[in-house]
Every structure is written in structure tokens, then in C-alpha cells.
Chain A
Amino acid sequence: MKFTFTEENLKRIEQVRKKYPTALAAVMPVIYIAQEQNGFISNEVMEEIANVLDIDKVNVLSVVTFYTMYHTKPMGKYHVQVCTNVSCMLRGAYEIFDLVKDKLGIENMQVTQDGKFSLEEVECMGACGGAPMIAINEDYYENLTKEKVEEILDSLK
């Protein structure tokens, strides 16, 4: 499917480009803008990013595939990220992870059938003092218990 940026996003891209002396340097923020508009980064999206910035598509590809926050396939409306790194693990992160898996009926990096939830086991999120923690889309939830996690997930249904 052909992808084109909205007028508004093209303006944002113009603004972003002013922060850097080269067009290539704008690639990360532009990928974010594209992901926001399209939900994920498909082949066509990468082509359009390359197009807009007048850079080689391989440059876009090599950046998109390096980072965990750029998604090359659609994620759920609510992307649930559970940190299981050491500080969270010491405070029961794996129990939280298993609970979310059971409750949503999906494995790591899968999406529920209705497209509502997706799950990702993530590395330290810089919230170790609030362990265990999860993030849903852009929001952090800290100092969790299993009950609280259930409550949060239920409130999103």
C-alpha cells in the first residue's frame, strides 16, 4: 500500500530538519513521525521516508532494524511492555510477565486477535526504583502488584 505523509506531518518534518546540518540526521525523528501516522514501518513507509529526505532507502532500513522501538509490523492498540531486567526481576517481574501473558493469551511480541493488545518483554526502562514496572504505549506504571496490573489491563478493555 502506498504511503504518503499528511500535510501536517510534512510540515513537522521540515521543522525537524532544521535541527540538523544533514538530511540523514533527521531520519530517526522522521521514522517516529511515520510510525505515529502509520502504526508501523512497512517497506513502503521506508521508501517514502527515503524519498522525503532524499537519502538512500538502505539508510532508512539500517536504522529501522537496529532499534527496538521501531516496529516493522503492526502492534496492538495498547502495546504492553514488561521490564524483566534485574531490579524488576528481583521484585517479581517474571510473575507480572506471566500474568500478562496469561491474561492476554499471547506470547512475547504477539498481538491479540482483536488487535487491541500486544506484549513485549523489555530491558531496563530506567524505572528500577519503581520496580516492578510496565509501560503501556507511552505511559509508565510503577510499584506494581499483580492485582494492580490486572486492574490496569481491565480498565483498558
Chain B
Amino acid sequence: MERIVLPQIENLHQIDVYLANHGFEAARKAFSLSTDDIIDQVKKSGLRGRGGAAFSTGLKWSFMPKTTDKPKYLCINGDESEPGSFKDRQIFEFNPFQLIEGAIISCYAIGAKVAYLYIRGEYHKWINLMQNAVDIAYERGFLGEKMKETFGTSFSCDLFIHKGAGAYICGEESSLMNSIEGKRPYPRVKPPFPAQNGLWGNPTTINNVETITNIPPIIRNGWEWFSKIGAPKHPGTILFGVSGHVNKPGVYELPSGTLLTEIIENYAGGVLGGKKIKCVIPGGSSMPPLRGDQIEGVRMDAESLKEVGSAIGTGGIMVMDEDTNLLDVLIRITHFYHHESCGQCTPCREGVGWMEKALKRIKAGLGTSKDLDLLCDVANHIEGNTVCALGDAAAWPVKFMITRFRDEFEMYVNKNVVIPVPNKVHSMRDTSIPLASIEK
């Protein structure tokens, strides 16, 4: 089976091994093409972003203004903080030079002289590995001024690593740019979009690490080759990270459109203890969860997952067996988004916190069926009403977990507990729910 991003070549992280395996051939070829040509090829290849939204990469690049005096930038997103995602670090560790080559070609295509590679701060080890690779690339003349000589071109670019410091929101593209600029990393209101007004107000493109790593093979082998791999509308391979209740958790590079059940059974070794699957989150914790009886025949690509009411996200597959308490899972997920909310907009800051409290109230045995409806209602009011997509990311799990597993959640709401309705006679103090007692 074809491996594009993580080929099975021993010691590929060493530059000489990389060079012996077509290393930097794609960059050489790219410099013989026009930038329009490269963008066109990437567009035709059908490559879609691997950072979550599965947006056409070539199309995104084409938004970059051609005639401008402003400096342009490329940001490579290696924040990798979506729970359930652990794929980009495989690239840092096992194929760093292909990422660097991808960055060079991408910079050339969009006209950027500087690329920032944003890596989450917790990845000390992988930052060091990546920095080491970047240093070697400079030494060997694949980055910086020396590139001109190496490739015989007038183009050169720099690649700098920016280390994050522990904030999920910095994976959001506009927050990431504010983080690089040294500002408090609040997401920005869009429009204007980064291609117009990005880093320091200049045209900027943001792509995921895996997306950029796909670029060299596309240029080397041609867009037709790539477009024929996997699902036609979302071609290529995807790094699927499988975690949770499976025998062999790990990252598996497989063609897009591979059956979800096949990934779980054949690659991840099936469910622990041979148990049944209750729930699968197919693309990292922000994506709508699927019921165990929904996953048969589901293919792992953007279009197929949309059809069944979920999304590909980052390809992080979280498997939960039949004994999983979904209320606990949902509380944990909601706690995460509450913790990571930057606090800029009210529906996200207050709404997600409220959802967490309401779920904990159910956990404490004080919930009713009405609370479940109310939770879905609040989730609906958060969705689409915030500056960035973290609001949606927090709303989806609540809304879909409760609606798709309503039977289980009904079981959790203890119908014997009647919550008194506040009225004119009682003071709120007497009738309100004792939140303090259930807050951890």
C-alpha cells in the first residue's frame, strides 16, 4: 500500500537517506515551473487540508494576492492539540525533511520568503528533532541564502520554528498568528481572511503539517497520480491516529476512504477484550460522535463522513467500548473546551461553562430529561455565534452525543429527583441547585 507522508524507509529522518530517496527532487522540479503552474497542480491534485476543515489547499493558495509589495508568509500548523490527534509528531520524528521540502515549495508557490512552523510547546523532544533537521537543511544549503546556489534560482526562503506554550486555541489559524506576533492569542474576527490580512497585516497562508508534507510527492509524481489515490473527492492518504479501547493504538497511514471498521479491526487490532463498540469519534474530540451501530460501511473521507453526520477533522479516531460511561466522556470533553475557551465571546465563555456545570449536575443525580433538551438548545445557540470555531467544537459533542445516545442519557437523569421550580414565594437560595456540592 502506498505511503506518501510516512514511507517505510529506515532512517529517512537522516538527510543522506532522504537525499537517496528522491529528497529535494520535487523542489528542483518546482523551481523549473511557474508559481501559477504549481498552484494549479496542487488544485488539480485534489489535496485538501489535514488540519480539520479539509479545505482545498490549491484553492487556499490561489487566494494569496499576486501583485503586492507586502511581504508574504507561510504558517505551518503543528499545534496538534485536538484531543485524539497525535499524527504530526510522527512527521517531525520520521520524515522532517519532506516537511521542510514541502515548506520550500509552498513558500515558492505563494511567494513567501519566511515560513513559521508552529509546534506545540509540550513537544520539546519533537521541537528539538525538527530544529536539528532545520539546522542541517541550512548547513546543506536547502534553506536560506545558500538555496540560490543549490537550486540555481533567484528564490530563497527561511524557516523558523515557533514554540507554543500550552493553549489549544493557538491551533486556530488567527490565534496562531497572534501567538507568533507575541500578542495575547485571541482569535481574530474574519473577514479579513489571512490571505489579505495575516501575520503583521500581511498576506499569509496557514496549512497543517501533514498537508505541507504531501506537497513534494504531488509535485514529483504529478497531480494525476495523487488524485487517483483513495476517495476521489478527498484523495491521498490520511494519517489516522487510533486511540481508546483498541488493541493496537497508533498512527496508520491509509488511503482516504478506507472503511472505519477496517481501520479499527485490521489495523488497530480490534476492540480490547473483544468487546462491542458503543461510540466512535472519527476525527478528534471536536467532531460529532457516531453510534457503534452507525459505523458499518462508513468510509473515512470528508464527504462520506459528512453523509453520516460527522466530519473527518484531524483523522483522530477515538474508540469507546460498550462499557464506557458516555456522561463521563462528555463531561471530560466539555471541561476541555471550557478550559481552553479564550473567553473572548460570551456564548463560548459562558455557554460552555454552563454546559459543563449542567452535565456535572446530571452526574450528581440532579438532572432531568428537560436538562438534556436544554443542553442541546444551549449548544445550538453557541454554534455559529462565536468569533472562532472553538464554539462549534464545544457545541457539537454535546448536541450529538445527547441526541445520538439519548437512551443512555435518559438513563443518567434521575427521575426521582424533582428540582423545585423557583417561584415568587421561595428565594433563589432555597430553590437553586447546589452547584458547590458537585463542583470538583
Contact = CB atoms under 8 A, between A and B. Distances in A.
Interface of A: 19-22, 24-29, 31-32, 55, 59, 62-63, 66-70, 84-87, 89-91, 122-131, 135, 138-140
A62 to B, nearest CB: 4
Interface of B: 80-86, 88-89, 120-125, 160, 162-168, 179-185, 200, 241-245, 249-251, 281, 285, 316, 318, 320, 324, 328-329, 332-333, 336, 339-340, 342
B181 A22 contact: yes
A63 B125 contact: no
B144 to A, nearest CB: 12
Contact of A24 (B89, B165, B183, B328): B183
A28 B180 CA distance: 8
A73 B110 CA distance: 44
Contact of B318 (A59, A87, A130): A87
Nearest to A32: B163
B328 A87 contact: no
A63 B182 contact: yes
A131 B86 CA distance: 11
Contacts of B180: 20, 25
Contacts of B339: 123
A67 B165 CA distance: 6
Contacts of A31: 165
Nearest to A139: B125
Contacts of A25: 180-182
17 contacts: A25-B180, A28-B163, A55-B182, A66-B342, A67-B167, A68-B167, A69-B164, A87-B249, A90-B324, A123-B168, A123-B336, A123-B339, A124-B85, A124-B336, A126-B120, A127-B86, A128-B85
B250 A69 contact: no
B253 to A, nearest CB: 13
Contact of A27 (B182, B243, B281, B328): B182
A135 B122 contact: yes
Given A28-B162, A69-B122, A122-B166, 10 more contacts: A19-B162, A63-B182, A66-B167, A68-B165, A68-B166, A86-B332, A87-B83, A123-B83, A124-B85, A139-B125
Contacts of A125: 122
**Nearest 7 interchain pairs by C-beta:** A67-B165, A68-B166, A69-B166, A128-B243, A138-B124, A87-B243, A124-B83
B244 A90 contact: yes
Contacts of B86: 126-130
Contact of A28 (B179, B243, B281, B332): B179
A28 B182 contact: yes
Nearest to B251: A129
A31 B179 CA distance: 13
Nearest to B79: A126
A49 to B, nearest CB: 11
Given A19-B160, A86-B83, A86-B329, A91 B244 contact: yes
B72 to A, nearest CB: 13
Contacts of B88: 126
B200 A22 contact: yes
Nearest to B324: A90
A89 B332 contact: yes
A77 to B, nearest CB: 17
A87 B167 contact: no
A19 B318 CA distance: 38
B125 A140 contact: yes
Given A26-B182, A89-B329, A128-B243, A67 B84 contact: no
Given A126-B122, A128-B85, A129-B242, A32 B182 contact: no
B292 to A, nearest CB: 14
Nearest to B169: A66
Contacts of B333: 86
Contact of B81 (A19, A90, A124, A135): A124
